[in-house]
Amino acid sequence: MADASAACGRDFPDYQALHAWSIEQRGEFWQQVWLFTGMSSSTPYTRALTNPDAFPGARWFEGARLNYAEHLLRYRDDRPALVSLLETGQRRELSYAELHRQTAHIAMTLAGVGIQAGDRVAGWLPNVPETIIAMLATASRGAVWCSCSPDFGVAGALDRFGQIEPKVLFACDGYYYDGKTISIVDKVREVANLVPSIRLIVWVSILDQVPSDSCTFAELIGDSTPELQFDQRPFADPLFIMFSSGTTGKPKCIVHSIGGTLIQHLKEHQLHTDLKRIDHLFFFTTCGWMMWNWLASGLATGATLILYDGSPFYPDPTQLLNIADNERISIFGVSARYLSALDNAGIVPRDSHQLGALRTILSTGSPLSAESFRYVYDRFKQDVQLASISGGTDLISCFVLGNPLSPVWAGELQSAGLGMAVDVWDDTGQSVREQKGELVCTAAFPSCPIGFWNDANDEKFKRTYFERFPGVWAQGDFAEITANGGFIIHGRSDAVLNPGGVRIGTAEIYRQVEQIAEVMEAICVGQEWQDDTRVVLFVVLNDGFELTETLKATISDQIRQHASPRHVPAKVIQVRDIPRTLSGKIVELAVRDVIHNRPVINASALANPEALEHFRDLEELSR
């Protein structure tokens, strides 16, 4: 980060001063990021930022033509690019030279079936090297990549691939999870038959169950080293289509640009995460989540990516910690739920593992509680930077995240991202501090989506992000800027509770409930009741526990003492499971619909839609 300050030709006393300059001089800041991270283009840009006050509508690096895959494959040596591990113990390693060679073979196949700029190529794959290679080959052609993890059902895959009409589908025969072997061959065949645009299926063998007489990934990789051509495209051309969760209707197909994705990821990797070529970068993710794309961009810095596919707790809760030691991971990315689960399981990594290379832990997916911060520093590792990060599929990057210059405060995300004009506004559109409100971004940024796929006049796109505050991006997060200048995410705005007219973020309740040993996880919703809203808390308990009146009182007392009396739920109810999206996020709105006897619009977007039945027609909610 200090090197970045010097590259800007200025001496900044602290991160806050650097961030303020990056907002006030956005064009100059992003130009310096381009230079600092070594971005290149076949034709020069004319200006870093044109029409800066338009949001949406600002234009970045006009005139530049570049290729995303070319940046990720700029190294071609024998250093390891990918280390792939399955929960079964299978390990593979690919050097940068071999990654380049295999990408060239797959790109040659795509060229042979006519894939060119703008065409869509889809992956229905686990987090393995073939997925990275297929994406790089697609990007080298100037085509558009989209992917789903293999745990998607037929309806979920159709909702996504059916909208964007890919010409080629890379698909696996199955995957391993939690000790189970799961075939998806029949699902792939069904979806391919229902999406007429698919000309070719390239099968990736995980289970050795690929249909006979099929085109396989392995047979396309020859012994030669063909030349790899990189189609040079405009900065704002499409690169990725990301899909929203789809829990309120068909998923939105969010289109992200080549240059915007690349420059934002390089900034977040090299400045905020201090990623170097010597690092081993890991994030527990599937390729249906934007953190997979974020992880893949680490190749542009020349780091070694550690890929893992399987359960993080199989064969036991130390699985990922073992990998961290064995692979000398320096940057370890996981979910907030994972850290909480380790804590609840009584795992003390500092006693059981060396973690000698580990210097940064990244957490995302949901708000990280102050207790999880303390767990990391007390029981994980003291000399580590814990960076809770938040952004999303919408911007394929972060609004708020860590930085190496500022202190870490328990329960807080360290800072707004450089070049990101992030603020918290109240309902009247006024900026507020130490007060909860809507997380907004008040100025354009390079990784703002191009738009939504097949969205005439950008109507749905503008309605989604810019309807509440015209010209200002509203993220949909209920947040707060602290006295330390950090951020707290209190939950999703659309899931905010409103008992007695007081707005309460669900994360405020989860932070307290997670500290109770008997509770495995919880979900909290508002129930319309007697012309008001009452708070209802559903809990899944650890094995061997029942929800007694004593335990209910313990939960209520914990919330009352450490949040407020208004946070105390009117009802605490035990359930067997909680519905989640395929990326693992709990679905408060779906539960709210069920308890009000409203239809759940798109249950196929859930990983476990059967869990909704645990909330239906509960007698306790009728009194």
Contact 136, 83 (CB under 8 A): no
Is pLDDT above 70 for 501? no
The region of weakest confidence among 227-236, 254-263, 593-602 is 593-602
pLDDT at 505 exceeding the cut of 90: no
pLDDT at 56 over 60: yes
pLDDT of residue 411: 94
CATH of the domain at 535: 3.30.300.30
Please report whether residue 361 resides in a domain: no
Q: If you average pLDDT over residues 8-17, what whole number do you get? A: 85
Alpha-carbon distance of 232 to 42, in angstroms, equals 7
pLDDT of residue 7: 53
**What is the pLDDT averaged over residues 329-351?**
93
Chain segment 553-603, per-residue pLDDT in tens: 999 999 988 887 888 999 999 999 999 887 778 889 899 999 999 888 777
- Between CA 318 and CA 447 the distance in angstroms is 36
pLDDT at 165 over 60: yes
Of 339-353, 359-373, 593-607, the least confident = 593-607
Q: How many domains does the chain have?
A: 1
Contact 202, 171 (CB under 8 A): yes
Q: What's the CA gap between 443 and 19, in Å, rounded?
A: 14
**Mean pLDDT within 250-270:** 96
Mean pLDDT of 544-557: 94
pLDDT digits (tens, 9 = 90+) for 448-478: 999 999 999 999 999 999 999 999 999 999 9
- 176-208 pLDDT tens trace: 999 999 999 999 999 999 999 999 999 999 999
Confidence of residue 606 (pLDDT cuts 50, 70, 90): confident
Q: Is residue 439 part of a domain?
A: no
pLDDT at 316 over 80: yes
The confidence band for 499, taking pLDDT boundaries of 50, 70 and 90, is: confident
Report whether pLDDT(3) > 70.
no
Q: How much is the pLDDT for 213?
A: 87
> Is the residue at 606 inside a domain?
yes
Is there a domain that residue 610 lies in? yes
pLDDT of residue 107: 98
Average pLDDT over residues 290-295: 97
Whether 183 contacts 210, CB under 8 Å: no
Asked if residue 75 lies in contact with residue 302, where contact means CB atoms within 8 angstroms, the answer is: yes
CA distances to 265, 392, 438, 602 from 163, rounded to whole Å, are 27, 21, 31, 15
Identify the domain containing residue 560 by its residue range: 496-622
304 CB-side CA count, 13 A: 19
Q: Residue 257: left if φ>0, alpha if ψ -120 to 50, beta else—which one?
A: beta
Can you tell me whether residue 210 is helix, strand or coil? Answer: coil
Is residue 16, in this structure, part of any structural domain at all? no
* Over residues 342-352, mean pLDDT: 94
With a CB cutoff of 8 Å and minimum separation 6, the contacts of 127 are 149, 285, 286, 287, 292, 307, 308, 309
DSSP state of 381: -
Q: Characterise 331 by phi-psi region: left (phi > 0), alpha (psi -120 to 50), beta (else).
A: beta
What share of the chain has pLDDT > 90, as a percent?
81
> Which amino acid is located at 184 in the chain?
I
d(CA 142, CA 258): 9
Q: Categorize the per-residue pLDDT at 497 as very low, low, confident or very high, splitting at 50, 70 and 90.
A: confident
Neighbours of 189 (CB within 10 A): 14
Can you tell me the mean pLDDT for 101-118?
97
Question: Residue 26: which of 56, 65, 53 has the closest Cα?
Answer: 53
The residues with which 481 forms a beta bridge, in sequence order, are 487
Question: What rounded mean pLDDT belongs to the chain?
Answer: 93
CA distance 391 to 393: 7
What's the pLDDT at 5?
A: 60
Instruction: Check whether 164 has a pLDDT greater than 60.
Output: yes
Output the CA angle 455-457-460, nearest 5 degrees.
50
- Domain assignment present for residue 551? The answer is yes
What is the average per-residue pLDDT within 472-495? Answer: 91
Task: Answer yes or no: is 414 within a domain.
Answer: no
Q: Angle formed by the axes of helices 549-562 and 506-513, to 10°?
A: 120
How far, CA to CA in Å, does 516 sit from each of 197, 508, 519, 553, 579? 51, 14, 6, 12, 21
In a domain, 577, yes or no: yes
